[in-house]
Amino acid sequence: MQGVVPKLPPRRVGLAVKLSSPEAIALGKEFLRELERRGIEGVADAESAGVLGAAGGPLRAELGRHVDAVVVLGGDGTFLSVSRGCPSATPVAGVNMGTLGFLTEHSREQAFTLLDDLAGGRVLVERRDRLQVVVSDHSERREFLALNDVVINKAALARILTINVEINGEFLSRYHADGLILATPTGSTAYNLSAGGPIVHPGLSALLITPICSHTLTNRPLVVPLEWRTRIWVDEGGEEAYLTLDGQQGLPLAGGERVEVGKAAEPLSLIRVPSASFFSILHQKLKWGEREG
């Protein structure tokens, strides 16, 4: 779902940069100056403030709750580290300072055009589904958000995992594999793609279930409605497992702990490049051939 969202110019714009990129840092300093020139307060997250020579702001994961819009200068990893704390009311734009950049689709050359559009209240916003992830045992319940994927894989030196999957209360399978990926369509071009999963248009409300190096060759990727509840657990007494969310947060997963995955109530508001369709991005990022004529 997308459209031009007319809104008052933002009074506060959050800025997060890739800390290891001199180019992102230099552009970030220039971006803050341009915000000030337009009468907009620039707020750097606490991690970026030091390298930008700016006043310290909120932590990166909380930046979106304190500003009207967020701009990320970096790659998809930097984008994911910021976006997990953004409510739907705070749109996020990514300027690609990395490599592939499926989420950070604005180019460096488009950075100040993006700033003009933000200042003029003219931005193209697309809602992207996120995953609500609940990890629970008999005594504790923890909740997380993920935009790209939830991954269960084996800890270092562990042997193959046995992962049980249940969908809407019905048992699906016991996967014997190195791990399992549960991805959104947005995350279909990330780890899911590397593991042989399908590319799914982000306009679809779907959950992709992709085994990692399955011991059973008939275990193939599966796509189910995102509105269904998916429950996963690793056999008690089995190998050590680890749960990773968007490649940003991780925690050990004890045998018997349940992981429930479903559609989050709040999607992410992603600021798009008006001229870039999903298919044109696939052509550009994955080097697919353009149609002749």
Tell me which residues are annotated as active site.
Answer: 76
The contacts of residue 33 (CB under 8 Å, 6+ apart) are none
User: Hey, which residues does 15 pair with through a beta bridge?
Assistant: 44, 71
H or E element that contains 127: strand 122-128
Strand order in the sheet with 141-146: 141-146, 131-136, 258-263, 230-234, 161-167, 170-177
Whether the Cβ atoms of residue 224 and residue 238 lie closer than 8 Å to each other: no
Number of H helices, E strands in the chain: 6, 19
Q: What are phi and psi of 208, to 5 degrees?
A: -100, 130
Give the tokens for residue 44.
């750097």
At 288, is the secondary structure helix, strand, or coil? coil
Planar angle of CA 35, 273, 53, nearest 5 degrees? 30
Sort residue 221 into left (φ over 0), alpha (ψ -120 to 50) or beta.
Answer: beta
- Max CA-CA distance within the chain? 63
The alpha carbons of the chain give a radius of gyration, in whole angstroms, of 20
> Exposed, middle or buried: residue 68 (CB in 10 Å: 0-12, 13-18, 19+)?
buried
Give the tokens for residue 266.
């709040």
User: Hey, which residues does 129 pair with through a beta bridge?
Assistant: none
